[in-house]
Amino acid sequence: MSHDVKPVQKEIIDYLRKPLGELISYDQVEKHKIIELRHATRKLITVGDTTTAKVISFSIVPDVSVVDGFEKRLVSKTSVSKLKSKITAALSGVELVELTCNNQPGSISLEAINILIRALTSHAPVLVNVRGEEDLIALPLIAYAPTDSRILYGQPSEGIVVVRVANRIQEVAKHLMRRIGFNLEGV
């Protein structure tokens, strides 16, 4: 494994299996709640095909969407190209920025982190297509997203987790990133 790809230790993966924010059960994810989040946030970020598709189904375009074409390790019902088409249709004239990175299952790659940082600094909506797996990508997003952003990611078979990016949760994310082996100087 390249030094630019860090395998995530089992104890960190186990820690990340617990919601890092508010868990909204799938049957409670409603348009008005997502609209409130959209208005209360600096950046709205979705991680995962199902979560991204749900937000887009309400005609709400995230600032950053991270997808990999899979759900629970199976091919997603909504392909990346369908998600892209739905986002583009909802943008009505605003250009969608598309970025791609590689990220192996059970790891976080430096390539993925660099692409996520580019996505977070974009003024246009961004669709990040991860070749491999995006399951652990919420962690660097929490570490690098602007304060008061909201990161939404799926909690398998339960619902959507909403993380409000604040100093405390960012410090936790940065601590975990350092334990994984990333040098976060200047962050």
Whether residue 81 is predicted with pLDDT greater than 70 in this model: the reply is: yes
Whether residue 76 is predicted with pLDDT greater than 80 in this model: the reply is: no
Burial of 52 (0-12, 13-18, 19+ CB in 10 A): buried
Model confidence band, residue 82 (pLDDT cutoffs 50, 70, 90): confident
Report the pLDDT value the prediction gives residue 77, as an integer from 0 to 100: 63
pTM for this structure?
A: 0.92
CA distance 104 to 133: 6
Report the pLDDT value the prediction gives residue 1, as an integer from 0 to 100: 47
Return the closest-CA partner of residue 165 out of 54, 40, 66: 40
Report the pLDDT value the prediction gives residue 105, as an integer from 0 to 100: 92
pLDDT in tens, 13-28: 999 999 999 999 999 9
Q: For 113-149, where are the E strands, in sequence order?
A: 126-132
Using CA of residue 54, residue 37, residue 116, residue 121, what is the dihedral sign? positive
| Bridge partners, residue 5, by sequence | 109
Under a CB-based contact definition with an 8 Å cutoff, are residues 25 and 154 in contact? no
pLDDT in tens, 27-59: 999 999 999 999 999 999 999 999 999 999 999
By residue count, the chain amounts to 187
Domain ranges of the chain: 5-180
Report the pLDDT value the prediction gives residue 162, as an integer from 0 to 100: 97
Task: Give the rounded percent of residues in the chain with a pLDDT score beyond 90.
Answer: 79
Residue with tokens 């600094």: 121
